[in-house]
A and B are shown apart, each in its own frame.
Chain A
Amino acid sequence: MELLAAKVIGAGLAAIGVGAAAIGVGIVFGQFLNSAIRNPAAADGQQGRLFIGFAAAELLGLMAFVVAMIILYAV
C-alpha cells in the first residue's frame, strides 16, 4: 500500500477518537444537568467544576485530532 493511502486511512481511524470524546463530553454535561434538575439551588456553585470536566474530556478529543494531523502531515 502506498504511503499516502496508508496516511489517509490512519488519519480516518484516528478521527474515531474524536467521536469517543464527544460521548465523554456528553456524559459530563448530562450528569451535570441530571443532578442540576434535582437540586437547582446547588447547581450554580458547581459550574466551575462542570467546565473543568468539560475541558478535560474535550482535551482528549483534541488529542485524537492532533494524532490525525500528525499522521497526515508530519509523518
Chain B
Amino acid sequence: MHQFQINPLAGNLDGSPFVFTNSALWMLIILALLWLFMLGGMKRQLVPGRWQAMVEGVTGFVESMLSMSVGPQGRKFVPWVFTIFMFILFANLLGLMPLALVGVHPFTVTSQFTITGVMAVMSFSIVLITGFWRHKLHFFSLFVPHGTPFLLKLLIVPIEFISFMVRPFSLAIRLFVAMIAGHILVEVFANFVVQGLNAGGAIGPAISAVSFVFIIGVMALEILVCAIQAYVFALLTSLYINDAVNLH
C-alpha cells in the first residue's frame, strides 16, 4: 500500500496546499513524454516517417472514435478526448514500468481518485455545457424516451436521471479501481515471493517460483487493462458527448 502514498518532495503537506508531491512529479513526466511524442510527429512531411505515422495513427484513431459516436460534429471534441486518452494511457503504463531496477519507484498517477475524479468531472461538465448551450432547456428531453405511456414515464424519468448523474462517478471509479486492484494484485504475489524465500525449507522457494510466474502473467494482463481502461474512458466520454449533441 506504500506505493499509493502521496509524498511531498519539497516542504510538508500540513504547511501549505501548494506542495510539489511525487504525484505532481509524475504528471510532469507524463507531460514531457507526451510533448516529445507529439513533437516527433509535427514535422509535416508529405510522406510521413515512422514517428509521424504513429502520431497520425493515434490522432486518426481518436477522430474515428468520435465521428463514429457523435457524427461530423464530433471533430470539435477531438482535442479533449485525445488529451484524456493519451494522459490516461501514459499514466497507466508509466505506473507499470520496471524502473525499480534503476532505483526509481514509479507512481501511477491515475490510481488516485482525486485525479480520475477531476477528469471525469471535466468530461461531464463538457457534456452538460454542450447540451445546455445547444438545446437550452430541451436538453431535459434526454431523460424522457419518445413514445412511452405516461405511467411508465413517471417510473422511467427518475431512473434515467439517476443513471445520468451516476456517469461521472462511474467514469472516475472504473479507472481508479482498475488501476488500484491491478497493482494490489501484483503486490500480493510479490509478497508471496518474498515470504516464500524467507520461509526456506523445501516448499518455500517452490511457492516463490510459482508466484513469480503469476506476477509475469498478471503484469501482461495489467498492460492490457491499462490500454483498455484508457480506451473505455475515451469511448464513454464520446458516447456521453453524443447524448448531449444529438439527444439520442
In the complex, per-residue mask of B98-117: 1 if CB is within 8 Å of any chain A CB, else 0: 00000000000000000000
Contact assessment for B174 and A59 in the assembled complex, using a CB-CB cutoff below 8 Å: yes
**Which of A51, A58, A65, A66 contacts B235 (CB under 8 A)?**
A51
Main secondary structure of the interface of B (DSSP, over half): helix
Contacting pair A65 B236 (CB below 8 A)? no
Main secondary structure of the interface of A (DSSP, over half): helix
- Contact residues in B for A51 (Cβ distance below 8 Å): 228, 231-232, 235
**Cα-based distance from A48 to B242 in the complex (angstroms):** 14
Whether A59 lies near B170 (C-beta < 8 A) is: yes
- For the A-B complex, the count of residue pairs with Cβ-Cβ distances under 8 Å equals 33
Q: A51-B228, A63-B173 are in contact. Are A58 and B65 (CB under 8 A)?
A: no
Let me know if A8 is at the binding interface, CB within 8 A: no
Chain A residue contacts of B231, Cβ below 8 A = 51
Known contacts A48-B65, A51-B235, A59-B170: A65-B177 contact under CB 8 Å: yes
Query: How many angstroms from the CA of A34 to the CA of B177 in the assembled complex?
Result: 29
Once the chains are docked, how many angstroms separate the CA of A48 from the CA of B236?
Answer: 10
Chain B residues within CB distance 8 Å of chain A = 65, 68-69, 170, 173-174, 177-178, 181, 228, 231-232, 235-236, 239
